[in-house]
Structure 1
């Protein structure tokens, strides 16, 4: 089964918005804001995740996600439960 890791997310964020102030492996529970990512970077990353992993991230859920660990957990949960691909 396909999964996303913190490292995968870091690569996506780096491509979408540049390097974080700290490596995500050591800062997975810090907020995206604390890491220097703004809402535009996160929206772009969400779109990339939807395309690459074939999941649909609900806008309401996505707005509640504040850390890398939460986002990875959400995506992996969607993958485990066979979430419908994004339209």
Structure 2
């Protein structure tokens, strides 16, 4: 499966956790902390849970919590192992 892109990630953030008022997720947000984008750790865990189920990958919760920006979260997601068959 191909790597998750920033556009796919921001789409999932919107779909699962909504848009924060005054935040433009379509801008250059790769290195903007999630808290500044309006997403807390619970929102990120919810989003990554959906992504993990859709992509059949294992994403460690503690790695998600430590990924403070979209760039770091994409690295975590895209390096996550496939679930055992």
Structure 2: 5+ residue stretches without partners:
none
TM-score (norm 1): 0.82
RMSD between aligned alpha carbons?
1.7
1:31 to 6, 30, 33: 33
The 2-side partners of 1:24 and 1:30 are apart by 12
1:57–1:22: structure 2 CA closer, same or farther, 3 Å change rule?
A: same
- The ranges of structure 1 where at least 4 consecutive aligned residues each deviate by more than 2 angstroms after the TM superposition are none
Contact between 2:31 and 2:69, CA under 8 Å: does it hold in 1? Answer: yes
In the alignment of these two chains, the number of paired residues is: 82
TM-score (norm 2): 0.83
1:58 equivalenced with 2:60 (yes/no)? yes
Match runs of 1:7-86 below 5 Å: 7-20=7-20, 21-23=23-25, 25-78=27-80, 83-85=81-83
The 1-side partners of 2:10 and 2:62 are apart by 22
Structure 1: 5+ residue stretches without partners:
none
Query: What corresponds to 1:2 in structure 2?
Result: 2
